[in-house]
Amino acid sequence: MLEPDDTVAVALSGGKDSAALLRILWKLERRFPPARLVALTVDEGISGYRSEAVSISRDMCDELGIKHTVVSFEELFGVTMDDVARRRNELQPCSYCGVLRRKALNEGARRLGATKLATAHNLDDEVQTALLNMMHGDVERISRPSSILRKTKARFIPRIKPLAEVPERETTLYAYACGTRFQTIPCPHGHDALRGDIRVMLNRLDLKHPGIRHTIYRSIERLSEAMGSTGKPRAFRACSICGEPTPNDTCEACIMLRTFKLDPSAARVVSAHTR
Q: Considering the complex, what minimum distance in angstroms separates the CB of residue 242 from Zn ion?
A: 3
CB of 97 to Zn ion, least distance (A): 17
C-beta of 238: minimal distance to Zn ion in Å?
9
Is 254 an interacting residue with respect to Zn ion (CB under 5 A)?
yes
Closest CB to Zn ion among 194 and 242? 242
- Can residue 270 be called a binding residue for Zn ion (CB under 5 A)? no
257 binds Zn ion (CB under 5 A): no
Q: How many residues does the chain have?
A: 275
Nearer CB in complex with Zn ion: 122/259? 259
Nearer to Zn ion, 117 or 254 (CB): 254
Q: Pattern of binders to Zn ion over 181-220, x per CB under 5 A?
A: ----------------------------------------
Residue 130 or 254: which CB sits closer to Zn ion? 254
Among residues 97 and 175, whose Cβ is nearest to Zn ion? 97
Pick between residue 172 and residue 248 the one whose CB is nearest to Zn ion.
248
Nearest approach, Cβ of 92 to Zn ion (angstroms)? Answer: 21
- Applying CB under 5 A, the site for Zn ion has a residue count of 6
Q: Which is nearer to Zn ion, 88 or 103 (CB)?
A: 103
Distance of closest approach, residue 273 Cβ to Zn ion, in angstroms: 13
DSSP track, the chain: ---TT-EEEEE--SSHHHHHHHHHHHHHHTT-TT-EEEEEEEE---TTTHHHHHHHHHHHHHHHT-EEEEEEHHHHHS--HHHHHHH--SS-HHHHHHHHHHHHHHHHHHHTT-SEEE----HHHHHHHHHHHHHTT-HHHHTS-SSEE---STT-PPEE-TTTTS-HHHHHHHHHHHT-----SPPTT---HHHHHHHHHHHHHHHHSTTHHHHHHHHHHHHHHHHHHHSPPPPPEE-TTT--EESSSS-HHHHHHHHTTT-HHHHHHHHHH--
Residue 17 neighbours by CB under 8 Å, 6+ apart:
120, 121, 122, 163, 168, 171, 172, 175
| Site map (CB under 5 A) of Zn ion, residues 224-253, x = contact | ---------------x-xx-x------x--
CB of 257 to Zn ion, least distance (A): 8
Beta carbon of residue 6, minimum distance to Zn ion (angstroms, whole number)? 27
CA–CA separation, 253 vs 218, rounded Å?
Answer: 31
Binding site for Zn ion (CB under 5 A): 239, 241-242, 244, 251, 254
